[in-house]
Chains A and B, each alone.
Chain A
Amino acid sequence: AQSVTQLGSHVSVSEGALVLLRCNYSSSVPPYLFWYVQYPNQGLQLLLKYTTGATLVKGINGFEAEFKKSETSFHLTKPSAHMSDAAEYFCAVSDAGGFKTIFGAGTRLFVKA
């Protein structure tokens, strides 16, 4: 069985500060890992993904995440927050087939001016 835990339902940072959103997963098979972003009243949008290969993956809008198998983690980072980054972020895990992608509960990011 697979599961995802996002640490912190709310994270608040100042504009220009580092963004760090934490995600830990469990999976009995090699995982595919994803971060999605949801802006208010919109659907989810794929931010980045890890499938195989390089463990540091870069996504849109300057975000990146690192797959650490030993720590079962896939934390999302951005060096400098922008007001437009305020949204809800979801970590997700699936196997290669992807028929049952499991989503975390989400972390809402607030960016203060």
Chain B
Amino acid sequence: NAGVTQTPKFQVLKTGQSMTLQCAQDMNHNSMYWYRQDPGMGLRLIYYSASEGTTDKGEVPNGYNVSRLNKREFSLRLESAAPSQTSVYFCASVAAATNYGYTFGSGTRLTVV
């Protein structure tokens, strides 16, 4: 089925380890986003990519890096994981310049111990 695919679904890291969260969409969407979800705080934007070849910081970018590998793929990297980065991470995409609603992936639940 068409949509947004995130891998892995679950991950446990030790403090200081690095990892990359993968996101791919097959809807030919231009814009892609990474959010984190924490209890009582809704979703907070980490980074976004308005179009292929561009990336910009969101509300909470510290400790993260991103790569828009091509139009389909947008990865999120944690270089040195910290317990404060324990969260559920969601990737989302939207078709064009006008926001008619995001399509979300099913999330990656990350625990940093």
Query: In the bound complex, what is the Cα–Cα distance between A33 and B68 (angstroms)?
Result: 27
Interface centre among B45, B97, B101, B106 (most CB of A within 10 A): B101
| Contact present for A42 and B106 (CB under 8 Å) | yes
Decide if B75 is an interface residue (CB 8 Å cutoff): no
Query: Range of interface residues on chain B?
Result: 20 to 34
Is A103 touching B106 in the complex (CB atoms < 8 A)?
no
Q: With A100-B48, A105-B42, A106-B42 in contact, is A32–B99 under 8 Å at CB?
A: yes
Given the contacts A9-B40, A43-B107, A101 and B102 also touching, CB distance less than 8 Å: yes
Q: Interface digits, A75-113 against B, CB 8 Å rule (1 contact, 0 not)?
A: 000000000000000100011111111011110000000
Q: How many A-B residue pairs have CB under 8 A?
A: 65
Return chain A residues, CB-CB under 8 Å to B56. 99
CB of A74 within 8 Å of the partner chain: no
A13-21, A44-52, A63-71 - interface stretch: A44-52
A34 located at the interface, meaning its Cβ lies under 8 Å from any Cβ of chain B in the complex = yes
Chain A hits for B48, CB < 8 A = 99-100
Q: Are B106's CB and A34's CB within 8 A?
A: no
Q: Tell me the smallest distance from the CB of B47 to a CB of chain A, in Å.
A: 11
Knowing A43-B90, A49-B100, say if A104 contacts B107 (CB, 8 Å).
Answer: no
- Which residues on the B side are within 8 Å of A99 (C-beta)? 31, 48, 50, 56
B90 touches A44 (CB 8 A): yes
Which residues of B are in contact with A by a Cβ distance under 8 Å?
Answer: 4, 31, 33, 35, 40-45, 48, 50, 56, 58, 90, 92, 94, 97-107
Interface residues, chain A, with chain B CB atoms under 8 Å away: 4, 9, 32, 34, 36, 41-46, 49, 51, 90, 94-101, 103-106
